[in-house]
Amino acid sequence: MRELVVLGTASQVPTRTRNHNGYYLRWDGEGLLFDPGEGTQRQMIHAGVAAGHITRICLTHVHGDHCYGLPGVLSRMALDGVGHPVHLHYPATGDPVVRALVAVSSPGVDLRLHPHSGAGPVADGLEIRPLKHRIETYGYLLTEPDGRTFLPELLRAAGIAGPDVGRLQRLGALGAVRLEAVSIPRAGQRFAFIMDTAPCPGAEELAEGTDLLVAESTFSDDDGGLARQYLHLTAGQAGELAANGKSRTLVLTHFSSRYGDDATLLAEQARARAPGTAVIAARDLERIAVPPRRQRAREAAGHTTAIGLNHDGSS
């Protein structure tokens, strides 16, 4: 199961209905917590996210609205007796802040620190790209390896059905039938997380081909001057990012409190620049499914009946 649970959507100052940042991504067996701001522990309770399911915590940068929730979450994990290793990724120059936050947390969690710099992979299927903010900041990209999508009419013609389909998937050939002959390539699913940044090449690379793109849109287009001054995106710029990257779904968040609780205007501004993208202005505690990847294979191939299989042969 792959879904995004929005824990908080406010930037610098929270509001009555918007907690500071916080995002939990359920990605098959992994639970990734991105940018836990203040109050994340309690938002997890409201959202029904168990601390014990977190396997990885990813910080874009160490401004308070993106990391002050860390000690609370870590202490809760210690209290719950979480036994598995928990990986913590963050910019290398944020090391003193991260160590201070970890130092005030209850001990007992098997926490593995992974400071990073540059661009590239930081874990299996997880990559970073530098962003452009007032301190060292990185965005994250989660990718699934490319797979193949079976075409039922070709499977039928080859006389392959039932458990043999999974067998063919695993073995690459079954008798004289080769996997390539009855299937088409299918791009793996892509999720990107882009927080505090001005428009920059790193953000463009992260957005490329994403099924689900979470992007900050601190300011309305009318406040473009403030966005430039503080190195943030406007809603329109977030929309442009999604349009250039051909993102399927764009989740806007990290809103300035100046817009109150209604982000409708910001969603409209993003939508105007990204007509081919589904745009969602995130609300706290909202759950957003990662769009199923089989749809993309169908779109690409013009087939209406393709079956997408996972690596283990399940659909």
- Angle at alpha carbon of residue 293, lines to 145 and 147, rounded to 5°: 35
User: Is residue 38 at the binding interface for Zn ion, with CB under 5 A as the rule?
Assistant: no
Q: Where does this chain touch Zn ion (CB under 5 A) — which range of 169-177, 194-202, 220-228, 286-294?
A: 194-202
Q: 66 a known binding residue? A: yes
User: Is residue 144 at the binding interface for Zn ion, with CB under 5 A as the rule?
Assistant: no
What is the edge-to-edge ordering of all strands in the sheet holding 287-289?
A: 111-116, 86-91, 56-58, 30-34, 22-27, 2-8, 287-289
**Residues 46, 121: Cα–Cα separation, whole Å:** 33
Least distance CB 309 / Zn ion (angstroms)? 40
Residue (94 or 308) nearer to Zn ion, CB = 94
Least distance CB 11 / Zn ion (angstroms)? 5
User: Is residue 35 at the binding interface for Zn ion, with CB under 5 A as the rule?
Assistant: no
Q: 46 a known binding residue? A: no
Beta pairing partners, 99? none
Local structure of 82: helix, strand or coil: coil
User: Is residue 284 at the binding interface for Zn ion, with CB under 5 A as the rule?
Assistant: no
| Pairing outcome for strands 126-130 and 120-123 | antiparallel
Q: Please, which residues have CB within 8 angstroms of residue 229's CB and are 6 or more apart in sequence?
A: none
Q: 61 a known binding residue? A: yes
- CB atoms < 10 A from the CB of 276, how many? 9
- Tell me, residue by residue from 4 to 23, as one string, x for binding to Zn ion by CB under 5 A and - for no binding: -------x------------
Q: Which of 30, 38, 65, 240 binds Zn ion (CB under 5 A)?
A: 65
- CB atoms < 10 A from the CB of 33, how many? 27
Beta pairing partners, 219? 234
Q: 84 a known binding residue? A: no
Q: Where does this chain touch Zn ion (CB under 5 A) — which range of 57-65, 221-229, 235-243, 304-312?
A: 57-65
Q: Check if 164 is active-site.
A: no
Which residue among the candidates 65, 211, 221, 284 is catalytic per the annotation? Answer: 65
Least distance CB 223 / Zn ion (angstroms)? 15
Residue (14 or 308) nearer to Zn ion, CB = 14
Residue (30 or 35) nearer to Zn ion, CB = 35
- CB atoms < 10 A from the CB of 1, how many? 8
The CA R_g of the chain, rounded to the nearest whole Å, is: 21
How many Cα atoms sit within 13 Å of 122 on the Cβ side? Answer: 29
Q: 116 a known binding residue? A: no
Residue in the block written with tokens 């990847």: 293
Q: Which of 30, 38, 144, 196 binds Zn ion (CB under 5 A)?
A: 196
The first and second tokens of residue 75, run together, are: 């202490």
Least distance CB 259 / Zn ion (angstroms)? 15
Which residues are marked as active site?
Answer: 65
Task: Write out the binding residues for Zn(2+).
Answer: 61, 63, 65-66, 133, 196, 254
Task: Write out the binding residues.
Answer: 61, 63, 65-66, 133, 196, 254
Q: List residues binding Zn ion (CB under 5 A).
A: 11, 65, 196
